[in-house]
Amino acid sequence: MGERPPLATISEDSAIQRSYLERTPAAAAMIERAARSIPGGSTRDFGYFRPYPLTFERGDGPYLWDLDGHRYVDFTYNGLSLIHGHAFTPVEEALYEVIPDGTAWPGTSRPQIAFAELLTERIAAADLVRFTNTGTEAGMLAVKLARHVTGRPLVVKSWGAYHGSYDDLEAGLYGNGEFEGRTALGRFGDLDSYREVFARHRGEVAALIIEPILFTFEVVPPPPGFLPELVELAHSEGAVVILDDCLMFRLAPGGSAEKFGIAPDLTCLGKFIGGGLPVGVVAGTEELLSVLNPNDPRNMYHGGSFNGNPLGATAGRVTLECLKGEDIEGMDARAARLARVLEAKAAEVGVPFRVTGDGSILGTYVVGEDGKPDRELGARFHLAAINHGVYFGQDGEFALATTLGDRALDEAIAGLEAALEDLAQERG
């Protein structure tokens, strides 16, 4: 867990891949052009797969359209950053109103204050918030703040947990182990492994950072009671608890802290919290966040030219106002239906299949005899789904949006069932 899997290569005799190549000539030409100015033709790893990724033209609600003119039911929403789907009308209308006034100002603004007030209302453990531009920046700031306040150097995280592109938080991912003096690792779901880490580094741990559900490469929910016990352990050791809720704030109106019954000291937000624009948030207790007050004698400097800009603050506020408990319940119910249908169809056609997840996120895996994901078969299923008008993450990740209703879900189910049939036929 946490090892970066190699990109899967599908054998050339695959009818699924031949179909993909035949229906996406414009995407093939565009990735070739892009590779002349962008490494590999891609500016991020998410969304890249072999033989080449799609090139998209537009999105609307739960749908995406590619350069070749095909429409897809989307289950990625730009890596979980569009909780209401594409081109969400309330956000568009709000942005049209504020864009004429400018895009970034040096001081505080009314949009910024209104968004901050809403966040402190929604997040039980938040007295104050500080804005950044991404979830990665939020994680960096939270770690920096914990080290500043505690005077300790070490951060503890989970093997396989993703916390953005900050190198200290890439321990346990992409083939990395622990980083001496900077980051130590426990095994997600194994409280004793964390007890051992804290005992080994007693008095050195500034922060525990938690991804409440592992999502990168494989979706892994926490065992019952694990997260509250882990928080209690960290607090008993004098560590600041940082909840990375960039991905999982979708699980309840107050985020995964509400869902799992935990009280972090700091909460990091990103992804959909900006309503489709780049926004990050660190929310937390007054005791900790006051260190960022320029008037506080303990002040720790934090800059950022676009922090809390009026566009991101407006889009984020409207997005959060439109995300209510009933919306979350609707997404959760549709995800549960999708999981049941996939498992039933896979069993019917004889494809070994496993579904994990919680709430409105799923991990879907074609598995081998050892029960582990078969990367090559998973890649075939991914391409087969695309051939039938369904787009999900290249490592089997699914996420729902509030605008994905029953009609779009029915379309997706039909496409995914056809994809499983194609895979079963190709497996023989």
List the chain pLDDT tens, one digit each, 428 residues: 555 667 888 888 899 999 999 999 999 999 999 999 999 999 998 889 999 999 999 999 999 999 999 999 999 999 999 999 999 999 999 999 999 999 999 989 999 999 999 999 999 999 999 999 999 999 999 999 999 999 999 999 999 999 999 999 999 999 999 999 999 999 999 999 999 999 999 999 999 999 999 999 899 999 999 999 999 999 999 999 999 999 999 999 999 999 999 999 999 999 999 999 999 999 999 999 999 999 999 899 999 999 999 999 999 999 999 999 999 999 999 999 999 999 999 999 999 999 999 999 999 999 999 999 999 999 999 999 999 999 999 999 999 999 999 999 999 999 999 999 999 999 86
- Give the pLDDT confidence score for residue 7 in this predicted structure: 82
The type of residue at 122 is R
List the one residue out of 99, 322, 355, 344 whose CA is nearest residue 221: 355
- Give the pLDDT confidence score for residue 333 in this predicted structure: 98
Strands of the 353-358 sheet, one edge to the other: 353-358, 361-366, 397-399
List the one residue out of 292, 331, 249, 257 whose CA is nearest residue 85: 331
- Give the pLDDT confidence score for residue 10 in this predicted structure: 87
Residue 261, C-beta contacts closer than 8 angstroms, at least 6 positions apart = 227, 228
DSSP state of 103: S
Burial bucket for residue 16 (CB in 10 Å: 0-12, 13-18, 19+): buried
Which pairs from 347-350 meet CB under 8 Å and 24+ separation?
349/420, 349/421, 349/423, 349/424, 350/424, 350/427
Query: Backbone phi, then psi, for 25, in 5-degree steps?
Result: -65, -35
This prediction's pTM: 0.96
Tokens of 401: 């949006």
- Give the pLDDT confidence score for residue 162 in this predicted structure: 97
Whether residue 100 is preceded by a cis peptide bond, meaning omega within 30 degrees of 0, is no
- Give the pLDDT confidence score for residue 2 in this predicted structure: 54
Domains and CATH numbers, the chain: 15-87+325-427 (3.90.1150.10), 89-321 (3.40.640.10)
Helix, strand, or coil (residue 133) = coil
Tokens of 205: 């741990």
- Give the pLDDT confidence score for residue 4 in this predicted structure: 60
3-state DSSP helix/strand/coil % of the chain, to nearest 5: 45, 15, 40
- Give the pLDDT confidence score for residue 3 in this predicted structure: 58
